[in-house]
């Protein structure tokens, strides 16, 4: 009987020690969420995913068709090197370099657009800093007088 009581006390003490640990973990998580960085990051990821769809459509539907015509009516998705031809039991093994080229063009379009957006953002911030940058105020008369006295003493 005493061993059962000891085991019960041990279980209760262990549970009591673990409860504050969970509570502190929950409170730390709440503080982490309240910081705002998580919300900003989530917003950025969602907007980035939507922007990725737009840029992919721009590349696939607007940039690549004229480029394909310039290169002799080539569809980039069809560009591939066949390593093994299709057989009855096996699909064809190909290197799809056209899809790779399309991904490179997609990346370049995204990089250019992001560069332009960041450049415009930086210019906007510089203009706002110039507007809000206060002109330095003239020092009070007593400080100006003390500065003149100091400078005269340095000269002599």
Q: Indicate whether 66 belongs to any domain.
A: yes
Taking the C-alpha atoms of residue 144 and residue 78, their distance in angstroms, rounded to an integer, is 78
Token reading at 82: 């066949």
| pLDDT greater at residue 87 or residue 32 | 87
Is pLDDT at 18 greater than 60 in this prediction?
A: no
pLDDT of residue 139: 81
Q: Indicate whether 144 belongs to any domain.
A: no
Give backbone dihedrals phi and psi of 121, rounded to 5 degrees, phi first.
Answer: -60, -45
What band does 132 get if pLDDT is binned at 50, 70 and 90? Answer: low
Average pLDDT, the chain: 79
Buried b (16+ CB within 10 A) or exposed e, 46-67: eeeeeeeeebeebbeeebbeee
| pLDDT greater at residue 12 or residue 78 | 78
Is pLDDT at 129 greater than 80 in this prediction?
A: no
| pLDDT greater at residue 6 or residue 65 | 65
Q: Indicate whether 74 belongs to any domain.
A: yes
Q: Determine the angle formed by the axes of helices 37-57 and 2-34, rounding to 10 degrees.
A: 60
Q: Indicate whether 82 belongs to any domain.
A: yes
What band does 29 get if pLDDT is binned at 50, 70 and 90? Answer: confident
Domains: count for the chain = 1
Task: Look at the pTM and tell me if it is higher than 0.85.
Answer: no
Give the CATH number of the domain where residue 12 resides: 1.10.1200.120
Q: Indicate whether 23 belongs to any domain.
A: yes
The domain in which residue 22 lies consists of 8-132
Q: Indicate whether 128 belongs to any domain.
A: yes
Is pLDDT at 87 greater than 80 in this prediction?
A: yes
pLDDT tens digits for range 34-51: 776 777 788 888 888 888
Q: Indicate whether 156 belongs to any domain.
A: no
Q: Indicate whether 1 belongs to any domain.
A: no
Is pLDDT at 127 greater than 70 in this prediction?
A: yes
């Amino acid at each position: 009987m005493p061993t059962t009581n000891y085991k019960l006390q041990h279980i209760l003490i262990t549970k009591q020690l673990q409860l504050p640990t969970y509570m502190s973990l929950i409170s730390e998580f709440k503080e982490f969420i309240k910081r705002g960085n998580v919300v900003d990051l989530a917003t950025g990821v969602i907007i980035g995913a939507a922007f990725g769809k737009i840029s992919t459509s721009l590349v696939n539907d607007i940039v690549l068709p004229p480029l394909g015509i310039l290169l002799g009516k080539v569809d980039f998705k069809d560009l591939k090197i066949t390593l093994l031809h299709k057989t009855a039991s096996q699909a064809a093994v190909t290197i799809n370099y056209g899809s790779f080229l399309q991904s490179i063009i997609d990346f370049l379009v995204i990089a250019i657009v992001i560069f332009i957006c960041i450049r415009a953002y930086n210019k906007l911030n510089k203009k706002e800093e110039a507007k809000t940058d206060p002109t330095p105020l003239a020092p009070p008369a007593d400080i100006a007088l003390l500065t003149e006295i100091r400078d005269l003493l340095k000269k002599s």
